Amino acid sequence: MQQTVLFVPGFREDLTSRNYSLVLSTIEKRGYATRFIPIDWNRTVLPDWLAQLEENYATYDPAQTILAGFSFGAMAAFMAAAKRTPTQLWLFSLSSYFAEDMADTKRAWLRHIGKRRTAAFSAVHFADIAEKVTCKSLIFLGQQEAEKWPVMKKRSEGAAQLISDSQLIIVPKSGHDVTDPGYLEAIASAI
């Protein structure tokens, strides 16, 4: 039976914000079915994003499902995988907005996302969730984004250490863009 990849986009993005169709097509060419999970980002916080993903995920058999997400979408996928174990978890440019990351997060970024989102992120402890993720996990990080935002590199390396069956994949010459040709090539090679 063909596995389905549920893909959650980045913050304030929908299917047309980036060439997400190309990402989905890259995954489909590797033999998977895909489903793009739209998120209502307006005036919502991480628990709301998680609830929206879980509502969709509840209609799938976890044994036939892979959860995937980009940036803030990766945070939601990660949290959902801790509650209901999928066959795999693919984290693309996992955002570093967990309680453990707040001290290293620039104040300007926190002001940009707002007080309610910052409070919601501060209540979520990465380590507590990571110990509950038991599926194979691929953690992708662009080389350029790792250099530009050391806190993202730290979070991705920490994820690779704390998630028991995980692999960190550094994408050469790629920034915070899952649609970058190099990023797509890395995805196709790893999955």
List CB contacts of 42: < 8 A, sequence separation 6 or more.
none
Residues 137, 165: contact at Cβ < 8 Å?
A: yes
Amino acid 106: pLDDT:
83
pLDDT lower than 50: segments of the chain: none
In this predicted model, what pLDDT tens digit does every residue of 140-164 receive, in sequence order? Answer: 999 999 999 999 999 999 999 999 9
* C-beta neighbour count of 74 within 10 angstroms: 27
CA-to-CA distance for 38 and 158, rounded, in angstroms?
28
Amino acid 53: pLDDT:
98
Query: Can you give the residue range of the structural domain that contains 41?
Result: 4-190
Q: Based on the number of CB atoms within 10 Å of its own CB, is 97 exposed (0-12), middle (13-18) or buried (19 or more)?
A: buried
For the chain, the domain total comes to: 1
Amino acid at 125: H
Amino acid 107: pLDDT:
85
Pairing verdict, β 88-92 and 166-171: unpaired
Instruction: Read off the tokens for 41.
Output: 């980002």
Amino acid 123: pLDDT:
95
Amino acid 3: pLDDT:
98
In this predicted model, what pLDDT tens digit does every residue of 38-51 receive, in sequence order? Answer: 999 999 999 999 99
The β-bridge partners of 170 are 141
List CB contacts of 151: < 8 A, sequence separation 6 or more.
96, 101, 104, 105
pTM score: 0.96
Q: Which residue has the tokens 């097509």?
A: 25
Domain at 129, CATH number: 3.40.50.1820
**Longest CA span, the chain:** 47
Amino acid 170: pLDDT:
98
